Amino acid sequence: MILVTINRSIYFAFQSFWRNIWLSLATIFIISLTFMSINFLVIINAISDSAIDAVKERVDVSIYFKQDVRESKIAEIKSHLETIPQVKEIIYISPDANLDEFRERRKDDSVIQEVLNELEGNPLGATLIVRAKELNNYPEILEAIDNPAYADLIEKKGYDDHQKAIANINTITDNVKKGAMVVTIMFIIIAVLIVFNTVRIAIFTHRKEVGIMKLVGATNGFIRSPFILENVFSGAIACGIAIGVIYFILSMIQPHLANFFAGVEFDLIAYFNSNFILIFGSQLVGIILLNIISSSLAIGKYLKV
């Protein structure tokens, strides 16, 4: 009997969906727009997070040692710095590697090249590049490097913190997120009203049927379920449309993003693929819950027979 009731509810829901096709299409359109605006917010989030991560990756402290500091001493300092919990990694660059890199960087500068050729030996010392786990760990690391015992060994320290760049990115993305949030909330409110009123109109047009169903012994659940299911169909179709559109947009913008994030691995499609269930599943569950609540509220009025 339960199976028969479920089948009949699904049948009535489909029947009502087709008989009110324009209303159904309008509902699907609005819910699709809501899904798209929510996913636009997800895209903005993913891009801004990656942009910030990319900049963060470039923040480090470079310790330039004097030319005559022995490698064993540098290794000792490196070992000491590695004991600091906030340190993520330390890269050692030998004097030769530094010189090669410098030559390569200034290969078009003939004067520099000439000077280097005339010099006997390597004028550059070794370098340690220290990266912190978090941006706010750098002051502690810098304090540790400022140890008086190292003062005579260090030529200079370089700390390019990119804080300004990160702050700018944060400001821009925060503003975009706020804008997207406002649009999303607007669409959610519109979707709630549309879904709510769609159900109300559907139930209003079926009020005689609802009354007769009650009189002949239909349970409230049986009366409600086709209306709820009908809106769940609309939500599922809208979700499917939104997924199609979002993936189409992703495929269009991905090449541009790849250029923008040159050198940083960032694949928005892969991001959506790996979070597919979380992103779209939660949205689908949300719209189904919304349908159930609004349908239940709207139909309650006509069930008191």
CA distances from 35 to 15, 201, 286 (A): 26, 23, 10
Question: Interacting stretch for another protein, rule CB under 8 A, among 55-63, 208-216, 228-236, 285-293?
Answer: 208-216
DSSP letter at 206 equals T
Question: Interacting stretch for another protein, rule CB under 8 A, among 118-126, 142-150, 210-218, 275-283?
Answer: 210-218
From residue 7 to residue 26, the character string flagging contacts with another protein as x (rule: CB under 8 A) and all else as - is -x------------------
Q: Does 201 bind another protein (CB under 8 A)?
A: no
Q: How far apart are CA 68 and CA 136, in angstroms?
A: 33
Q: Does 207 bind another protein (CB under 8 A)?
A: no
Q: Does 167 bind another protein (CB under 8 A)?
A: no
**Angle in degrees, CA 148, 130, 109, rounded to 5:** 100
By CB under 8 A, name the one of 208, 248, 255, 277 that touches another protein: 208
Number of residues that bind another protein (CB under 8 A): 20
- Give the distance, in angstroms, between the CA of residue 297 and the centroid of all CA atoms in the same chain: 34
- The token pair that represents 255 in the structure block: 């090449």
CB of 9 or CB of 34, closer to another protein? 9
Q: Does 2 bind another protein (CB under 8 A)?
A: yes
From residue 215 to residue 254, the character string flagging contacts with another protein as x (rule: CB under 8 A) and all else as - is xxxxxx-xx-------------------------------
Q: Does 107 bind another protein (CB under 8 A)?
A: no
By CB under 8 A, name the one of 100, 211, 237, 292 that touches another protein: 211
Angle, helix 21-57 to helix 2-19, in steps of 10 degrees: 90
Residues 286-305 that bind another protein (CB under 8 A): 305
DSSP-derived secondary structure for 38-60? HHHHHHHHHHHHHHHHHHHHT-E
What number of other Cβ atoms are within 10 A of residue 150's Cβ? Answer: 18
